Amino acid sequence: MTVRALYVHVPFCHAKCAYCDFDSCGLTGERLARVAGAYLAQLESRIDAFGACGALEDVETVYIGGGTPSVLGESLATLVAHIRRWCAPSELTCEANPESFGEALAQRLAAAGATRISLGVQSLDDDELGRIGRLHSARGALAALERARRHGFTVSCDLMCGLPGQTGASWRATLARTVEARPDHVSVYPLTLEEGTPLARRAERDPRLVPDEDFQASCMETAASVLAGAGYARYEVASYALPGRRCRHNCMYWTGAGYLGIGRSAAGMLDGATYLRLRRLFPGGEGDAPTRSVDPRDRVRLVQLDDAAARFDIELLHEREALAEDLMLGMRMTDGVDRALIARAAACMGDGAVDGALRDVCAAGLAAWTDAPDGAAAWREHAPGARLVPTERGWLLGNELYARFWDLATEVS
């Protein structure tokens, strides 16, 4: 498992949104320039360290997320160029908010080698944007989308449903304006109230702000219908794309590829062999991996805990746990999982355990085989090219579907 994807975290924004619990801080002006300058120097040092030992040479996708990377201005383009000194990804995404994605930045990012812009639009209703603390307007979001397209980027657009004051009519209007603007990719997320956020505290005083799950489910169904009618294929629980425009970076996460995270709170996943080779670059390890024997077939999950890359949370997943996670994450995608992955899982866990899980999810209507929808047969009886794919019911009851596969990590065959 070589490192095929790189995530770089930029924990800065101009102001935190009312719902946000990501690792980020709101800074502006001279303070942003000072703090971000020191942070970027550390990022570039880490990138150089991994590049010098050959860890980045097979990287196919890069994602710079946050926070709001676009608040860095021209420094973001410098970071993109620095990354490209060590690898040649076919997809390099930068997250941006409309209010900080101006003409000059678009030009610089294109010249530096960014290929994809992920815009945090969330809504195209100005009242809804104001209620969640967004700094841009609907008009500004559409202008940013058009700007990104004009500079040759693949463009992704994030939307949220269940916002305070949102109605079925306003949601349909946001969807209609989105498909009219024609981004290449659309992600749709239901709002969640995270403990400690301003919106969650407001909801404690005003229950009307608590998202209605039935309304959100209806919004997700409406989005699926509207986007499908406009030519967007749903390929993951929350993701839709025009032909050939899937987010390749996110697909790396969902298909078990090795990825590296650089920056505060950034997560990575390496196989045991790669981790052992790079171990010296993860000092101050906390968690179980530093004290347990690591087998090359194991997986190691790493999360950077500080700005200086001196502390990491390191979690070891043995082969059985890694395979259970691959099955679970595969169920996020319309492609599902292939028979080859199921065969590897069965070789590790036993046919009985794997067949039991497969029959359970098929009987519950959560998943189906492409060659035999009833799923009654043992996995070995299905055609070599058959796949197990999630159903619409499986996505609606995702926690139940994913949990059944994760149970394989510990159950006795």
Alpha carbon dihedral 40, 41, 47, 51, in 10-degree steps, equals: 150
Residue 343 falls inside a structural domain: yes
pLDDT of residue 54: 96
Residue 116 falls inside a structural domain: yes
pLDDT of residue 63: 99
Q: Report how far residue 361's alpha carbon sits from residue 366's, in angstroms, rounded to the nearest whole number.
A: 5
Burial of 334 (0-12, 13-18, 19+ CB in 10 A): middle
- State how beta strands 116-122 and 154-161 pair: parallel
**Beta-ladder partners of 303:** 267, 313
Both 397 and 286 in a single domain?
no
Both 197 and 341 in a single domain?
no
Both 271 and 351 in a single domain?
no
Both 370 and 222 in a single domain?
no
Q: Which domain holds residue 293?
A: 266-317
Residue 124 falls inside a structural domain: yes
pLDDT of residue 292: 62
Residue 54 falls inside a structural domain: yes
Give helix 351-363 / helix 398-406 axis angle, nearest 10°.
170
- State how beta strands 285-287 and 116-122 pair: unpaired
Both 7 and 41 in a single domain?
yes
Q: How far is the first Cα of the chain from the last one, in angstroms, to the nearest whole number?
A: 27
pLDDT in tens, 364-373: 999 999 987 6
Q: Report how far residue 292's alpha carbon sits from residue 11's, in angstroms, rounded to the nearest whole number.
A: 31
| Sheet arrangement for strand 337-338 | 337-338, 387-390, 367-369
* DSSP-derived secondary structure for 308-360: TS--EEEEEE-HHHHHHHHHHHHTTBTT-EEHHHHHHHHHHH-HHHHHHHHHH
Q: pTM value?
A: 0.94
Both 86 and 211 in a single domain?
yes
Residue 323 falls inside a structural domain: no
Residue 381 falls inside a structural domain: yes
Which is it for the CA torsion 393, 397, 399, 401, positive or negative? Answer: negative
pLDDT in tens, 208-255: 888 999 999 999 999 999 999 999 999 999 999 999 999 999 999 999
Specify the DSSP element, H or E, that contains 5: strand 3-10
78: its two tokens: 């410098």
Both 222 and 272 in a single domain?
no
Residue 326 falls inside a structural domain: no
CA distances from 188 to 160, 236, 334 (A): 6, 10, 16
Both 281 and 170 in a single domain?
no
Both 157 and 295 in a single domain?
no
Residue 127 falls inside a structural domain: yes
pLDDT lower than 70: segments of the chain:
286-292, 373-376, 411-413
Nearest alpha carbon to residue 161 among 225, 212, 98: 212
pLDDT of residue 379: 84
Both 160 and 32 in a single domain?
yes
Both 245 and 298 in a single domain?
no
Domain count, the chain: 3
Both 313 and 342 in a single domain?
no
- State how beta strands 91-96 and 116-122 pair: parallel
